[in-house]
Amino acid sequence: MNYEESINKLFALHQFGIKLGLDNIKKLLSHIGNPEQKLKTFHVAGSNGKGSTASFIASILTEAEYKIGLYTSPHFVKFNERIRINGCQIPDSFVVKFMNENIDYIENESPTFFELTTALAFLYFAEECVDYAVIETGLGGRLDATNVLNSMASVFTSISFEHTNILGNDLISIAKEKAAIIKNNQKVFIGKLPDNAKKIIVAEGKKNNCEIYDLSYYLEANDDNEKLIFKNKTIPLDNIPLQGEYQKYNAALALLTVISTIPNIGSATAKRGLRNVIQNTGIQGRYEVYNKNPKIIFDAAHNFEGIEAFLSAFGKEKAKFDKTILIYGAMSDKNVTEIVKMFPKFFDEIFATEIEYERSLSIKKLITVGKENGVKILPLKYPATYITSFIHQKSNSGKALVVLGSIYVLGKIKSEL
């Protein structure tokens, strides 16, 4: 198989859906030599912010001149974005080699897309002898394919309602699922969590003889002047290129994780890591300014809490614009009713879009939800064409266009652009 054939084969594994449990991934990893056992890892879980936090961790370690693997999901445009070393995507040739060498196993055992991608990432990082690997969970924690790791640290960014059909219908159940990534005698880092969820994480950490670090004890905030204070280090959280107050929490959590786990990293290095996170990791879609005037922002907030946080940040600059326009697309497993209700306060015009993907929520459904809640939503079949035209019309100077929602939708739009 060549690269295109390899990727097509890999994506065809989506037909096997999500298989919760670790037996399949353990069998697959054993087949390829258990590369995960050779890795020193940071394991990042959470409902929102885990991709950003993982990227901040990787960036700080990169600035400290370590060789760093970063595994996140999903990708925007190209599959290889999921697996990086010091910001560089996994080569096509490695993907092709892996698929060709394991095609018989794939045909006979039918691993899922995420299981095979996780195994690919672990093997690549092991063969490239990375110093550390930063691994983002896929779904939940306990039965996620990444939970075969014996990590140095478990990092919990946030816990909110998500995938309730799988993880449970209340925050305590969801927290228990995520807390299951905690291993014996490691460090546990806790971000901005609801109190009842935090208690679950703390209890699991204590049960496993872990050192527990609660970000709230180390973060000082006065009039938008946040700084992390840890032992003899005080690090201001300024010059962070990912906009939004919530990104300062992600950056602070990453900082606390790194300097607590690897004490020889200095404040100057840590600050460079925060400042250079985009160059060091290739992170996209986090309040990403795609065009300055007219302003176009891409943000991959995908659930209520994430979109609420984005809108809070956007609301601080909304008054600067003559008109604000939204393009929104979601997956069908999201409860969009409460999300749609928030939009009229921030946008003068709202468009719904969709992609050709079995999980994509249809334009028709989004318009219906809008009508049921008194929100006017217009259909937009070709968002990339609309965005291109929007940029080039001089009359749009001073306006803002936000492209918001599922990373799958944003990725499709960006690839067409």
The 10s digit of each residue's pLDDT in 8-53 is 999 988 755 566 679 999 999 999 999 999 999 999 999 889 999 9
Q: Are strands 400-405 and 225-230 parallel, antiparallel or unpaired?
A: unpaired
Q: Give 269-300 pLDDT, tens digit per residue.
A: 999 999 999 999 999 999 999 999 999 999 99
Q: pLDDT over 70 for what percent of the chain?
A: 96
Q: What is the pLDDT of residues 210-228, one digit of tens each?
A: 999 999 999 987 766 789 9
Give the right CATH number for 3-281 from 3.40.50.1100, 3.30.420.130, 3.40.630.10, 3.40.1190.10: 3.40.1190.10
Angle at 321 between CA 316 and CA 327, to 5 degrees: 85
* Amino acid 169: pLDDT: 54
User: Considering the entire predicted model, what is its pTM?
Assistant: 0.92
Q: Is the CB of residue 87 less than 8 Å from the CB of residue 281?
A: yes
Whether 363 and 336 have beta carbons less than 8 Å apart is answered as: no
d(CA 52, CA 55): 5
Question: In the chain, which segments carry CATH 3.40.1190.10?
Answer: 3-281
Which DSSP symbol is given to 178? H
Identify the pLDDT of residue 163. Answer: 46
**Residue 136 confidence (pLDDT) above 90:** yes
CA distance linking residue 120 with residue 1, whole number of Å: 16
Q: What are the pLDDT digits (tens) for 154-198? A: 999 988 755 444 454 578 888 888 999 999 999 999 999 989 999
pLDDT tens digits for range 328-356: 999 887 789 999 999 999 999 999 999 88
For the structural domain made of 288-416, what CATH number should be given?
3.90.190.20
At 148, the pLDDT band (50, 70, 90 cuts) reads very high
Query: Beta partners for 154?
Result: 43, 188
Question: Taking a C-beta distance cutoff of 8 angstroms, is the pair 342, 307 a contact?
Answer: yes
Q: Where in the chain is the domain with CATH 3.90.190.20?
A: 288-416
For residue 227, the tally of other CB atoms under 10 A from its CB is 18
Task: Yes or no: say if 399 and 295 are a contact pair by the CB < 8 Å rule.
Answer: yes
Rounded mean pLDDT of the chain? 92
Strand runs (DSSP E) across 86-145, as ranges? 88-89, 132-136
Question: pLDDT at position 139, please?
Answer: 77
Q: Distance between CA 330 and CA 81 in Å, rounded?
A: 21
Q: What is the pLDDT of residue 173?
A: 81
pLDDT for residue 166: 44
Q: Is the pLDDT of residue 367 over 90?
A: yes
